[in-house]
Amino acid sequence: MKIKIFALILVATILSACSYKFSGASTTGLKTVVVRVFENNAPLVVPTLSNQITESLKTRIRNQTKLIISPTGEGDASFEGRITGYDIKPVALQNSATPTSGANRLTITVSVKYKNNIKEHEKESFEESFTKYFDFPISGAPIQTLLPGAIENINKQLSEDIFNRAFAQW
């Protein structure tokens, strides 16, 4: 009985020491990818947003795949996109007599075109829009000090959704 318990503990220890990372990403047949700068066509333009979204997607690709990001030309796959929406609106109204907002919502929408140039994977290409938002409470701090954190949060979510749609077919 003691041997069985010892063996069970030994197996559990060995298994817990093993680490396995599953990203769910499939880049079969791909070696290079081109990520073109996302144009900012939103009615309200933040000068740095275009570069931030582009770099966020590149970072996700670098961290979760072995793909080489090609700076120019044609890759085995390519991303291009446009920022089509950037909006800040009040949410969480707190008083019906004199409506006041308890929070602001930043919403960013991007239109993305992903093209897989590998013949047997062309059907994985897509063109669609992705929208994410971030709510931040009205805290007395100027909104301009809260926006960088909100934009960073949204960029992470957008790059995750775009990455998953392209490489995990979610």
Domain assignment present for residue 73? The answer is yes
**Residue, of 113 and 29, whose pLDDT is higher:** 113
Q: Which amino acid is at 56?
A: S
Domain assignment present for residue 145? The answer is yes
Confidence at residue 11, expressed as pLDDT on a 0 to 100 scale: 44
The model carries a pTM of 0.79
Domain that holds residue 69: 23-92+101-168
3-state secondary structure of 8: helix
Domain assignment present for residue 105? The answer is yes
**Residue, of 159 and 144, whose pLDDT is higher:** 159
As for how many domains the chain has, the answer is 1
Confidence at residue 9, expressed as pLDDT on a 0 to 100 scale: 54
Domain assignment present for residue 7? The answer is no
The arithmetic mean of pLDDT across residues 47-55, rounded, is: 95
**pLDDT category, 62, cuts 50, 70, 90?**
very high
